[in-house]
Structure 1
Amino acid sequence: MTPDFYIIAYHKDYALAVSELFHQAVQGIEHPSYSLAQINAWSSAPRSARHWHQRLSRSQSWLAVLKEQGTCIGFINVESGFRELGYIDSLYIDPAYQGLGVGSQLIAKVITWGQDARLSQLTLDASYLSRPLFSKHGFVQQQKIYQIKSGQIIPSFQMSLEL
Structure 2
Amino acid sequence: MTIPGESVTVRAYAPQDAPSTLAVFLDAVTTTASQHYSPEQIAAWSAPEERDVEEWNLARAGRGTVVAVVEGDVAGFSDVNADGYIDMMFVSPRFGRRGVASTLLGAIERRAKSLTAATLWTNASITARPFFEQHGFVVEAKQHPVSRGVRMTNYRMAKQLS
> TM-score, normalization: structure 2?
0.90
Mapped contact 1:121–1:161 kept (Cα < 8 A): yes
Deviation at 1:151, TM superposition (A): 1.2
Which whole-Å CA distance do the structure 2 matches of 1:136 and 1:94 have between them?
19
Letter in 2 for 1:74: G
Aligned to 2:74: 72
Does 2:7 align with 1:4?
yes
Which whole-Å CA distance do the structure 1 matches of 2:40 and 2:135 have between them?
31
Aligned to 2:107: 109
Does 2:21 align with 1:18?
yes
After TM superposition, the structure 1 = structure 2 runs for residues 93-104 of structure 1, keeping only pairs within 5 Å, are: 93-104=91-102
Q: Which has the higher strand share?
A: 1
Aligned to 2:58: 54
Which whole-Å CA distance do the structure 1 matches of 2:125 and 2:148 have between them?
17
RMSD in angstroms over aligned alpha carbons?
Answer: 1.4
Mapped contact 2:76–2:92 kept (Cα < 8 A): yes
Which whole-Å CA distance do the structure 1 matches of 2:143 and 2:92 have between them?
25
Mapped contact 2:8–2:103 kept (Cα < 8 A): no
Name stretches of at least 5 consecutive residues in structure 1 with no aligned partner.
none
- Cα deviation 1:112-141 (Å, max 9, x = unaligned): 111222211111000111111111111111
Which whole-Å CA distance do the structure 2 matches of 1:100 and 1:134 have between them?
16
Deviation at 1:144, TM superposition (A): 0.2
Deviation at 1:103, TM superposition (A): 0.4
Which whole-Å CA distance do the structure 2 matches of 1:30 and 1:41 have between them?
12
Letter in 1 for 2:15: K
Aligned match for 1:27, one of 14, 30, 36: 30
- What's the % identity of the aligned pairs? 28
Which whole-Å CA distance do the structure 1 matches of 2:98 and 2:8 have between them?
11
Which whole-Å CA distance do the structure 1 matches of 2:17 and 2:109 have between them?
23
Which whole-Å CA distance do the structure 1 matches of 2:59 and 2:81 have between them?
10
Name stretches of at least 5 consecutive residues in structure 2 with no aligned partner.
none
Mapped contact 1:139–1:161 kept (Cα < 8 A): yes
User: How many residues matched?
Assistant: 156
Helix, strand or coil at the partner of 1:78: coil
Which whole-Å CA distance do the structure 2 matches of 1:19 and 1:157 have between them?
23
Q: Which has the higher helix share?
A: 2
